[in-house]
Structure 1
Amino acid sequence: MTLLNLALFQARPAFRSVDEALSELDSAMSRAAASGAEMLVTPELYFSGYGSSNAVRAAGQVQGSPALRAAGQLAARHRVGLVLGYPEKSGSALYNSASVFDRGGHLISNYRKVALPNEFERDCFTPGTGPEAFDFEGVRCSILICYDIEFPELARRAAFLGTELLLVPTALRAKWRFVSDAIVPSRAYENAMFIGYCDYAADESNSQFSGTSSICAPDGQHLCRATGSEDLVFATIDTSAVHLRKSDFDCLQDLKRFDLATPPIPQIA
């Protein structure tokens, strides 16, 4: 059994400068540390804000950039691990990425979003190659970003890597709130994993995003949920719940009993 105190930073939606993003992140990590959090997750593209091609290109960071080093230094100073959504430059390509820093500020994983859902993202970003697993404080983790979670194949790929906690920075629009209401708990249940799903805030001044960041348990129940405005939400991850869920029935093991060929996808005129 391993316990991990997880915090989600449901940040206000804004097109930030990197300095503004780091300043707000410093404050959020300070509050998270004071509440006992060991890891904090930001929304998708937190470093730039979501929806502006100019903003994401201006905020693009190469690995090891001063801004990413500064984010790692915040993790080390507050002793809080960090999942940071940002636009990543690599050669001529730009990726919708999330870097993971451990509590010592060391980069331990970097994920690039696979599923690009709209013209803005397809115009800006190159798709990544899928989830990888990493260990954080004794918990097996993976990253997906936003639209990725709507594909059961990607969450299942993470599950086959032994993932106990799936971390999902997102920029979920209010009209698709059913994703946080129904799809995220379903992914947690069908893959026997915890999911931390971190969105932007929604309030009277900006109702574009859903503002329903949540942490779901392997039985599909919400452990905590944000209510709309800028917020930090917390829950304790107890990996014994993963093993308890699998002791009842293990979908991943039972799946091996099936011989299901994948049919071709029909073309619809």
Structure 2
Amino acid sequence: MRISCIQMNMKLANVDYNFAHAQNLIREAVATEQPDVVVLPETWNIGFFPKDNLTALCDNNGERTKQELGSLAKELNINIVAGSVGNRRENKIYNTAVVFDREGLCIAEYDKIHLFTPLGEHNYFSWGNHISTFKLDGVICGIVICYDIRFPELARTLALQGTDVVFAVAQWPSVRITHINVLAEARAIENQMFFAFTNSCGTAGEIKYGGNSALINPWGKVLVRAGLQEEIITAELDLSIIADIRSSINVFRDRQPTTYKLD
């Protein structure tokens, strides 16, 4: 599986610009990198996150995202993990990840479970309450959004459901970029899966985002890492190594779940 992560610099609260820019970057990635999957970062449609006029800025039940990026996936014959979008649904606002297959069908939606309370995300967005797995070209995949990665139970749950590739989409600030680099590598190692981390870059309000998007294999090896500016990174994932890793160090067999108390 060949994956391109689009480290996008979006404009805060400028939805039309962000939609056009995202689509241009997807077209560039497909033309230059020939990936099987392209990935966008968190809340690329609005940035993270405008408090003024937020309801009006958010997508209405993902309709625009599904129309424009679903059509693009079909046109380009590409799988699109459309990061996440600010999404208005049933009089609530969610931070929602959306995934499209090569036919342009929306095959998965995931509402961010762990909202970032230090910035007050929970005061504007509603909490998600389900995980999401899906297949891209026959490969079982999962998705987490930014702060989710600090909660190892979520990644482990995805692993126990047979996930081989996790897409982690984010708006992770530069001041804590060391944290996400370590966490993404740790989640890949401890769950023996590939991690495709796609961050944003640039500045929104007073927050500078840290880039450093990366594709990481189950040994924790960074196959490719981005810098601080807008760019597209690509790597080929050799999924055949997963079985050998999981058999040689079988952490799933050696788990002792009856002794863990996580409630």
TM, length-normalised to structure 2: 0.92
Deviations 1:48-67 (CA, angstroms, capped at 9, x unpaired): 11121236433322336244
Return the structure number with greater strand share: 2
Give the alignment of 1:155-174 within 5 angstroms.
155-174=155-174
The alpha-carbon distance between structure 1 residues 72 and 258, as it changes in their structure 2 partners (threshold 3 A), is closer
Q: SS of the residue aligned with 1:209? A: strand
Other-structure match for 1:106: 105
The alpha-carbon distance between structure 1 residues 60 and 52, as it changes in their structure 2 partners (threshold 3 A), is same
Other-structure match for 2:6: 9
Alignment check: 8 A CA contact 1:188 1:195 kept: yes
Structure 2 distance, partners of 1:15, 1:21, is 9
Structure 1 unpaired stretches of 5+: 265-269
Q: SS of the residue aligned with 1:246? A: helix
Structure 2 distance, partners of 1:81, 1:49, is 23
Q: Does 1:37 align with 2:27?
A: no
Give the alignment of 1:1-269 within 5 angstroms.
4-34=1-31, 35-54=33-52, 56-63=54-61, 65-84=63-82, 85-118=84-117, 119-202=119-202, 208-255=208-255, 257=256, 259-262=258-261
Report how far residue 185 of structure 1 moved: 0.4
Amino acid at match of 1:248: S
Structure 2 distance, partners of 1:91, 1:263, is 32
TM, length-normalised to structure 1: 0.90
Q: SS of the residue aligned with 1:54? A: coil
The alpha-carbon distance between structure 1 residues 55 and 6, as it changes in their structure 2 partners (threshold 3 A), is farther
Runs of at least 4 residues off by over 3 Å: none
Could you tell me the percent identity over the aligned residues?
26
Structure 2 distance, partners of 1:132, 1:253, is 23
Q: Point out the more displaced range, 175-184 or 222-231.
A: 175-184
Deviations 1:16-42 (CA, angstroms, capped at 9, x unpaired): 533222211221111111211111111
The alpha-carbon distance between structure 1 residues 74 and 189, as it changes in their structure 2 partners (threshold 3 A), is same
Structure 2 distance, partners of 1:136, 1:229, is 28
Structure 2 unpaired stretches of 5+: none
Report how far residue 182 of structure 1 moved: 0.8
Q: SS of the residue aligned with 1:247? A: helix
Q: SS of the residue aligned with 2:253? A: helix
